[in-house]
Each structure stands twice: as structure tokens, then as C-alpha cells.
């Protein structure tokens, strides 16, 4: 290897330089639109390729695969998927305010179904794309640059005659920056452009008299009208949009909530998510108003029908949808585009200024070229008219010349050497000829039928038309007002032919306020069987089925239907469940697994104690762990809103053996695995915070641990069975906390 070719450099510097180069390439050449034509490179190249292939709006469709392949081979070597995706988006009228491509076949739908493969679909340019984006490419109005391998030329920018960046908007993710520009109404954008052209000192506030705000193809309602001015002045902000809702009377006095327009951000898979979110409102009992939900959307438009109960409040329910689903959503605006070769966040006025400046540049080049052509035509026409007046002399010169060059020299310079004339007068007149080179060539190539009277008259008329064009083009180029009028006239034509009424309503909407129906508080009975299935029933139902309920369920207690259930586990966790999340009703209903409505997992932890929040608030709670750590905690500490919190602190390897609420218990009895029993008064256990470890209740030998915890009352005899022997706990020798206890031998 030649050592002279090895470049020694700092690794970090090389990485930094390479990444910056890559980032700028992505920003400028891939992800962000140009403020002048509002197109990303892939869109511009696809449209130009279709123009080159002649796939016009008035010609047959061509296979998308042909368009994609040709674009990729000539201009955009970044993979066929990116090109086809760009082509698909340019056909979708639910994404673009002004679709640029006319698609034939399955190009996807608003509900998120993807387009068919490119070999099945066909496309051609839309009429407005041909007229407003590509029509002047043959007039040398924009620069052409080499393609990636310098075998073709492509336009650096398309000569777009409308502010496409605003009309169609744009979304793109570059490196370290994103663009998100909403679509706008074509007629309003044109009106705002004309207003700027008539007064370049116009403010954004005044511009918004013409351009009211975004106009999404999906319609909907923008509800923060007062915030739009700041968004259009800074180029960034958040637009709040809502779907459009109607109420329809249904059978039985019921009301159907019908969604006819959705927020722009909901198109695609988010429609399915919205349906699932609405269903979840019913499943989680956020509302009990929903009877049924159906998606009746079709090619005619969006129609999502939610059937409500007879006594439901439709307005209140819609507010719930606004608060809990994407029926009200936010569109983040960041009007970032490539201006003068670099990314820039632009205001509404800056975007219009950049576009108008571009229109003047294009028009200047266009009319400069047209003027040059008309001046050339004028020169030739004047030469032919002059020639017709002396046609006999010219014929005499042609007949007397030996070759074309001799005749041309006579016409241009008056040279008569070698030319035979019939008379001296002709010879003298020939020396006075002074046609230009172009005039002489036109005369020499003129056909004889042009000498017919009508042809000469037509030539004079053409000359008059040419002179009128020259005067017009010079006026346009010399006077900015004239050029502005031409541009505005073109804009008026586009507005008249392609303008459509606004779809999105813009207003200052009131914040959605959902009033939950006040639940009548009552006592219910919580039932949970040994398999972990839980439910609640009313007191009367429990009393009627008390014997069966007591036999079939492991946990039974009374609680408030507005309260919470508290689950203490061996891992020291407290899981809470809203009573309303549990099924309420019939005694024979199976119930719901406790795992499904809480963070408790039977696979990872064991349930030690379960009670109601209201019970805890009235009591103290006593904890005992396997390593004999104990404490009493005020039950109010467990009145928490979180679904899971730490109920106690455990040392490594320890676990909770017993949790109980203290009522009439007077003594506690600890039983270890090795058969030691220790009885002492509960008063000896100190009260601690739930975050404390506690104090030792019983001295344990190695590998011994607390197996059971019992409680006794002073006047009630408590008997347990231990290894086949009945033991009266009240008769155990009273001791002090932190003793070893008495060994029970069987």
C-alpha cells in the first residue's frame, strides 16, 4: 500500500465531520421540503419523471412500477419503497388538500389499509399538476442540475405557480429536526398570496384575514382560534382539533352519537385505536352509557355510530370522548423548510414572501426568454415583409448567383461580384441591400407560396401580434406591477378552476367538561373464592345466599361501592382495586380474576391479607415477617391513590407472613417452623411508619422462621391444632417480646 495515500486524523473529528455531512444530506436532500415548490426531492423527482414519460392527465394511466423504476434508475437511487410511498401519498385526497397524482387502483384508504403493490396500481398526473407545477419547464425558468451519476439532468426545483408548501403541507423527520406543516385551503392561500403581493408590509394578523387557518382534508374543528396567530408568527405551536359529531334519534327514544369527521391526526390505524378506546371506556366502567358501537365508514365518508342508553346525556358523553380519546387531538406545527439551501423555521409571511420572490424569479426568466424569441421572430418577419416589397430584385439576385453564399452575401452586405443582373437599376438596388444574417437565411428558405397575397397579409398580421407581445413582455419585465398582475391573474385562474370550499371549521371551542354521574354510595359485600375470582353483591343478595357464600368463598367482607380493596402480599406490596372495577350483580356470576383488575400476580407473589380501604382507615395494621420483624402501622398510611405501593420495608431474604387489622386482639402468639411458641401482649409492639423494618418479635435459631401467627383475646379461649395435638393458646406461658419461646413437643 502506498503510504502517501494514508490520511492520519483524529477519530472523533472524522466521526463528527462524517456525521454532520450525513445529517445535512438527509436534511437537504431527503427529508425536508423546499419552500419554493413545497416538495421533497423524492416527490419532485417522481413528478418530473412522470412528466418526462408523458404520463399526462389526458393520457392513459401507466403502471406505478414503471414510474418507480424509471425514477429510481434516473434520479432517486434510494430504494423503490420510498418512491412508491411518496407516489401513494400524492394520490390520497384524505392526506393531501390537493392531490398531485391521479391514482387508478387500490391506493389505500383513510382507515389505514395500505396500497396494493406497485405492479397492480397505475397512475398519471393530475391536471393541476401539469398546469401549475410542470407547464413552464420548457421555458428555461429553473436551473437543471446533474443527477446522481451525471447521466441525466433534473430540475433543482419545479416552477410551481402556487404556494404548494401551504396548500399540501408536509411532514418529515430529518436528523435532529422535523417538519410538520398542516394543509391549507387553496383559495385562501391564493387570496393571502395576492394580499402580500399588493402590500409587502402586511402583517401576519392581516394575512390571516384571508388565510383563516389550516384546512384539513378530513374536516374537523380547530378549537384554539386565538392561538393560531402566534403559531403563524413563530412557525411553531399546537393546533387543537376535534372530530365533528352529530346526534341522531334512534328507536326507543335512544340517541345515536354519529362521528362524521375525524381529526387529521386520527387517519390510518388511529381510527381502529379510537374504536378500541371507546370500547375500553365501557369495559373499565368510565361510562355505562354505551350500548353499541359500529364503524359504518365507506367511500362516501366517515360514519362512526355510537348507540347510547335511553337516559344518557349525549353532550356529556361527547365531552367524555374529547377528554379520553383522540376525538380531540393535537397537531404539532413546525413550519420548517429549506430556504436558500438551509433549513429554516418560517412564519406565514416568510413562506409567502419566499414563494412570491420565487414566482417573480420564474416569471422574469420566463418572459426574458419569451421576449428573446419574439424579438427573433420580429427580426425575421420584418426581413420577410421587406423582401416581399423587393421580391423581383431578390428573384433576380437568386437567379444570377452561382451559389447560396453568393446570394446571401448580396442580401447581407450588398456584394454583387459574380452576380448577373438584367439592368443597371437592379444592380444599383442590390448594392443597397442590408438584411441581417437571420433575415437572409429566412429569405433563402422561403417557399414561393408565401408570395400569395393572403400569406403576405397573414405575415403582416403575425408581425403586428409579435410587436404587441414584445410590448407586453417588455412592460412585464420593466414594471414590477405588471409582472405582479400577470402572476395574480394566473392565481385567479387556478382559484376559479380548482378552489373548493373550506372543510375545517375554525373557532374558539370551550374546554370539554365531563360530569360523572354521581354514584349512590351503598354497602356491598366483597366475595372472592380460593381461585382468585372476585365480585360484589348487595347486602340483601348476600343475606339470602349467606350459607352458600360462606362455603364457596375464601374472603368475605363489607365495603363501600365507592371505595377500594387493599391486597397485602408476601413481598411487602400493597395493591389497590376500585370496587367499581369489580363486577356487581348476581350471586351466581363467576366474577373476575383479581389479577385482571390490579397489579397483583398470583405467579410472582402470594396474597397475605385482603380488606377494604375504609376498614384500614379505622384501624391499626400489624405486620409480622418470616424473620420475626414486627411493627404496627396506622391504617391511614395506606389510603393511597396509586395502584401499587410498598406496604412495608423488608430486609434481604425476608417476606411477610401475617398482616391483620387490630380490633379486640390482646395477645399475639408467634409459632416458628421448629415448634417454638412465644406469647406476649400486643402492647409491646411499637408503632412505626410503613417505610420502617420494625422490631424483632422472637429470637430464632439458624434456618428457623415464623410459620404462623395467632391472636388471642382475654375472655375468649383460642385453640389450634399442632401436629395432631390441640393447644389452647391462652394457656401458653406469658412472656416478653424478643424471647425464644416455649418448645412444644408432640
Active-site annotation, residues: 120
Q: What angle do CA 398, 401, 402 make, to 5 degrees?
A: 130
CB 505 within 8 A of CB 222: yes
CB 583 within 8 A of CB 594: no
633: exposed, middle or buried (Cβ count in 10 Å: 0-12, 13-18, 19+): buried
DSSP for 546-570? Answer: HHHHHHH-SEEEEEETTSEEEEEET
For residue 567, count other CB atoms closer than 10 A to its CB. Answer: 25
How far apart are alpha carbons 98 and 340 in whole angstroms?
25
Reading the block at residue 150, the C-alpha cell is: 451525471
CB 214 within 8 A of CB 504: yes
Q: Where are the alpha helices (DSSP H) in 553-685?
A: 613-618
Per-residue burial over 37-55, b = 16 or more CB atoms within 10 Å of its CB, e = otherwise = bbbbbbbbbbbbbbbbbeb
Q: What angle do CA 515, 520, 522 make, to 5 degrees?
A: 145
Sign of dihedral through CA atoms 204, 240, 333, 495?
Answer: negative
Q: Give the containing element (helix H, strand E) for 666.
A: none
- In the chain, the largest separation of any two C-alpha atoms, in whole Å, equals 161
For residue 423, count other CB atoms closer than 10 A to its CB. Answer: 9
DSSP 285: T
How far apart are alpha carbons 34 and 347 in whole angstroms?
15
Reading the block at residue 718, the C-alpha cell is: 383460642
How far apart are alpha carbons 115 and 43 in whole angstroms?
17
For residue 389, count other CB atoms closer than 10 A to its CB. Answer: 10
How far apart are alpha carbons 71 and 78 in whole angstroms?
10
How far apart are alpha carbons 179 and 171 in whole angstroms?
5
DSSP for 705-737? Answer: -EEEEEEE-SSS--EEEETTEEEEGGGSPB--T
CB 667 within 8 A of CB 681: yes
Residue 195 neighbours by CB under 8 Å, 6+ apart: 202, 206, 207, 209, 210
Both ends of the chain: CA-CA distance in Å?
90
How far apart are alpha carbons 3 and 443 in whole angstroms?
69
Amino acid at each position: 500500500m502506498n503510504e502517501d495515500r494514508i490520511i492520519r486524523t483524529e477519530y472523533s473529528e472524522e466521526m463528527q465531520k462524517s456525521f454532520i455531512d450525513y445529517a445535512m444530506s438527509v436534511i437537504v436532500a431527503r427529508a425536508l421540503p423546499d419552500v419554493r415548490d413545497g416538495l421533497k426531492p423524492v416527490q419532485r423527482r417522481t413528478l418530473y419523471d412522470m412528466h418526462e414519460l408523458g404520463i399526462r392527465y389526458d393520457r392513459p394511466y401507466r403502471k406505478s412500477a414503471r414510474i418507480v423504476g424509471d425514477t429510481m434508475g434516473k434520479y432517486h437511487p434510494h430504494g423503490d419503497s420510498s418512491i412508491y410511498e411518496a407516489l401513494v401519498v400524492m394520490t390520497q385526497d384524505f392526506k393531501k388538500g390537493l392531490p398531485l397524482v391521479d391514482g387508478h387502483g387500490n391506493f389505500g384508504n383513510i382507515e389505514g389499509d395500505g396500497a396494493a403493490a406497485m405492479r397492480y396500481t397505475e397512475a398519471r398526473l393530475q391536471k393541476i399538476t401539469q398546469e401549475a407545477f410542470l407547464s413552464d419547464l420548457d421555458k428555461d425558468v429553473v436551473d437543471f442540475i446533474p443527477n446522481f451519476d451525471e447521466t441525466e439532468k433534473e430540475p433543482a426545483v419545479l416552477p410551481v405557480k402556487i404556494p404548494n408548501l401551504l396548500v399540501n403541507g408536509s411532514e418529515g423527520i430529518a436528523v435532529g429536526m422535523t417538519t410538520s406543516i398542516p394543509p391549507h385551503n387553496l383559495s385562501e392561500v391564493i387570496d393571502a398570496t395576492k394580499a402580500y403581493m399588493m402590500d409587502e408590509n402586511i402583517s401576519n394578523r392581516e394575512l390571516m384575514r384571508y388565510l383563516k387557518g389550516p384546512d384539513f382534508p378530513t374536516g374537523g374543528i380547530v378549537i384554539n382560534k386565538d392561538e393560531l396567530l402566534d403559531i403563524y408568527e413563530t412557525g411553531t405551536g399546537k393546533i387543537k382539533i376535534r372530530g365533528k359529531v352529530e346526534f341522531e334519534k334512534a328507536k326507543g327514544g335512544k340517541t345515536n352519537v354519529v362521528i362524521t369527521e375525524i381529526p387529521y391526526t386520527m387517519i390510518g390505524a388511529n381510527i381502529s385505536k379510537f374504536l378500541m378506546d371507546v370500547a375500553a371506556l365501557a369495559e373499565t366502567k368510565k361510562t355505562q352509557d354505551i350500548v353499541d358501537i359500529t364503524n359504518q365508514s365507506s367511500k362516501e365518508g366517515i360514519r362512526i355510530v355510537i348507540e347510547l342508553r335511553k337516559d344518557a346525556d349525549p353532550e356529556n358523553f361527547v365531552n367524555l370522548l374529547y377528554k379520553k380519546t383522540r376525538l380531540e387531538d393535537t397537531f404539532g406545527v413546525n413550519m420548517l423548510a429549506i430556504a436558500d439551501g438551509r433549513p429554516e423555521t418560517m412564519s406565514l409571511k416568510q413562506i409567502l414572501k419566499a414563494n412570491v420572490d420565487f414566482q417573480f424569479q420564474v416569471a422574469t426568466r420566463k418572459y426574458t426568454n419569451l421576449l428573446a424569441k419574439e424579438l427573433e421572430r420580429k427580426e425575421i418577419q420584418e426581413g420577410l415583409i421587406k423582401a416581399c416589397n423587393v421580391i423581383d430584385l431578390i428573384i433576380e439576385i437568386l437567379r444570377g448567383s452561382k451559389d447560396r453564399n453568393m446570394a446571401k452575401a448580396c442580401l447581407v452586405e450588398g456584394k454583387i461580384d459574380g452576380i448577373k443582373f438584367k439592368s443597371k437599376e437592379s444592380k444599383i438596388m442590390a448594392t443597397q441591400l442590408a438584411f441581417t444574417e437571420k433575415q437572409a437565411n429566412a429569405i433563402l428558405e422561403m417557399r414561393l407560396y408565401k408570395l400569395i397575397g393572403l400569406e403576405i397579409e397573414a405575415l403582416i398580421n403575425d408581425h403586428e401580434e409579435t410587436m404587441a407581445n414584445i410590448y407586453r413582455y417588455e412592460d412585464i419585465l420593466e414594471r414590477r406591477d405588471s409582472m405582479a398582475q400577470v402572476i395574480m391573474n394566473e392565481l385567479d385562474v387556478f382559484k376559479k378552476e380548482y378552489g373548493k370550499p373550506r372543510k375545517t371549521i375554525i373557532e374558539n371551542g370551550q374546554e370539554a367538561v365531563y360530569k360523572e354521574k354521581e354514584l349512590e354510595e351503598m354497602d356491598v359485600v366483597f366475595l372472592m373464592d380460593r381461585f382468585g375470582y372476585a365480585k360484589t353483591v348487595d347486602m340483601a343478595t348476600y343475606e339470602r345466599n349467606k350459607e352458600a357464600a360462606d362455603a364457596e368463598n375464601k374472603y368475605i367482607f363489607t365495603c363501600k361501592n365507592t371505595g377500594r380493596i387493599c391486597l397485602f402480599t408476601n413481598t411487602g406490596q400493597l395493591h389497590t382495586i376500585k370496587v367499581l372495577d369489580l363486577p356487581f350483580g348476581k350471586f351466581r356470576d363467576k366474577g373476575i380474576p383479581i389479577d385482571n383488575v390490579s397489579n397483583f400476580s398470583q405467579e410472582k407473589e402470594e396474597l397475605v391479607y385482603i380488606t377494604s380501604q375504609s376498614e384500614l382507615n379505622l384501624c391499626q395494621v400489624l405486620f409480622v415477617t418470616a424473620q420475626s420483624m414486627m411493627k404496627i402501622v396506622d391504617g391511614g398510611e395506606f389510603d393511597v391513590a396509586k395502584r401499587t405501593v410498598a406496604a412495608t420495608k423488608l430486609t434481604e431474604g425476608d417476606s411477610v407472613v401475617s398482616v391483620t387489622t387490630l380490633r379486640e386482639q390482646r395477645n399475639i402468639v408467634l409459632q416458628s417452623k421448629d415448634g417454638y411458641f412465644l406469647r406476649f401482649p400486643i402492647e409491646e409492639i411499637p408503632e412505626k411508619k410503613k417505610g420502617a423494618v420494625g422490631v424483632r418479635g422472637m429470637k430464632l435459631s439458624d434456618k428457623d422462621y415464623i410459620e404462623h401467627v395467632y391472636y388471642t383475646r382475654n375472655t375468649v379461649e383460642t385453640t389450634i391444632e399442632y401436629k395432631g395435638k390441640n393447644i389452647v393458646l391462652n394457656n401458653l406461658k406469658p412472656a416478653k417480646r424478643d424471647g425464644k419461646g416455649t418448645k412444644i413437643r408432640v
